[in-house]
Amino acid sequence: MIFKIFLNIGSKYAITNNQNISFESGLLILLFFLYLVLSPFYIFTSGYPQPADFILFLAMGSSFVVFLINKDLKANQIYLVGLIFAAHSLLINMIHYVYYPDIRFLLTSAIYIFNIGVFIFTSSLMRKYPKTILNIILYGVVLTVIIQFLHIQFIPTSHAFRAVGTFNNPNQLAYWVLLSASILFLIKSNSKLNLLDYGLLGLLYYIQIVALSKAGIITLALLYFLFFTLEAFKSKYRNIIFLIIPFLIIAGITQLSNISLDFSNYGAIEKAAERIVSIGDEGDDSLEGRGYDRLVENPIFLILGAGEGAFWRHEGGGHNQELHSGVATIFFSYGLMGTLLFSFLIFKVLRPNPIFYTAVFFIVMMYGFTHQNFRFSLFWVFLSIIYMAPTVLNQHEEREKEEY
């Protein structure tokens, strides 16, 4: 009863919910919601499971039993591709672990296996309870944005003057902001934004500014520009909007110093501007600083895969550190076969989607060119929404079944 009341709260804000949910499925959905709310809270060292991950693991294990009992387990081509990629990553890392016994080889494989499970679990729930799960994800985003904002305001934690929030470092906070905004845009892409939506978007951009992530600020600005441009095209006042925008930009530039004074207590605008202007000046802004030179110095690994661990093997930029790029890591660590498998997985996710979904995905991927982005379990929730939401929101014909 309590769970059903919870589902109906604010149903007008998201998507109408009129589905009957069994007790077992209700518990799974409740665990999934707890994961969403707790996912920003990092208690342990980065790279290790966090409290929310244990909750999600419990939900995933329980769902396997529930789906098995109800005979809801169905073979799906995209799930199979994801599992094969996870198995491939495990094989590559195990081979390297034999010669270089670094625990990071095993941890990264476990992360990929877990995250493929997150993708299967989330999309399976959406397939069975589509509107309910979108509501749950939306409520989770709303609540976590408010919690994160309050934490930054009243329990400030920082790293080199950059806000950290409840994470271990500011880049994690910045990526979470980008994913949260992307999820909000995907879910609301078929409906008009309301005052709460605009308020959330304002909070998210404020959090992004105080996180002082160059990649985060730029990608979030691109995301907002994309969405609001599309919104303007949908509006009957679009011609007026496009006439006003240039004047607002000019006014904003000329009044930037006055606007900055309003934020002088935090220095957020000034610091963010300094970070953007300094792009290219810091050591990690270069391809070498991010470790991209490994791809040139060790071309054999682009075929066979270097695994993710024992980073002392690689000379050059970022020596004894992981490659600071999720995209490049797939190429370098898992070779030609891993790259093809991962690319095919992404292709299957994006293929039937409207162009807006693909554009949002590639903006998120831009962050992954300079940071590790595939280890975030929330990214795989985001990927599940792209895979399932168009069908849920009736934006195009129902996805062709791939069950066999």
DSSP string, 195-252: HHHHHHHHHHHHHHHHHT-HHHHHHHHHHHHHHHHHHHHHSTTHHHHHHHHHHHHHHH
Contact 205, 220 (CB under 8 A): yes
With a cut of 50, say whether residue 266 has pLDDT above it: no
- The band of 395, judged by pLDDT with boundaries at 50, 70 and 90, is very low
Domain around 163? 2-40+47-392
Residue 212, in any domain of the structure: yes
Distances (CA, A) of 121 to 24, 32, 85, 133, 278: 15, 10, 17, 11, 42
In this predicted structure, the answer to whether residue 301 has a pLDDT above a threshold of 60 is yes
* Average pLDDT taken over every residue of the chain: 80
Token digits of residue 170: 């500011």
Specify the pLDDT at position 305: 92
- Give the chain's domain count: 1
Note the pLDDT tens digit of each residue in 153-190.
898 777 767 889 999 999 999 999 999 999 999 988 87
The pTM score is 0.83
Which pairs from 362-365 meet CB under 8 Å and 24+ separation?
363/178, 363/182, 363/219, 363/222, 363/223, 363/226, 364/178, 364/179, 364/182, 364/219, 365/327
372 pLDDT higher than 90: no
DSSP 8-state code for residue 398: P
Assess if residue 380 is contained within a domain: yes
* CA gap 334, 303 in Å, rounded: 8
User: Does residue 16 sit within a domain?
Assistant: yes
Residue 402 in domain: no
CA pair distance 250, 248, nearest whole angstrom: 5
* Residue 70: predicted pLDDT: 66
Q: Is residue 397 part of a domain?
A: no
Can you give the pLDDT at residue 256? Answer: 43
Let me know if residue 61 belongs to a domain: yes
The alpha carbon of 312 is separated from its chain's Cα centroid by a whole number of angstroms, namely 29
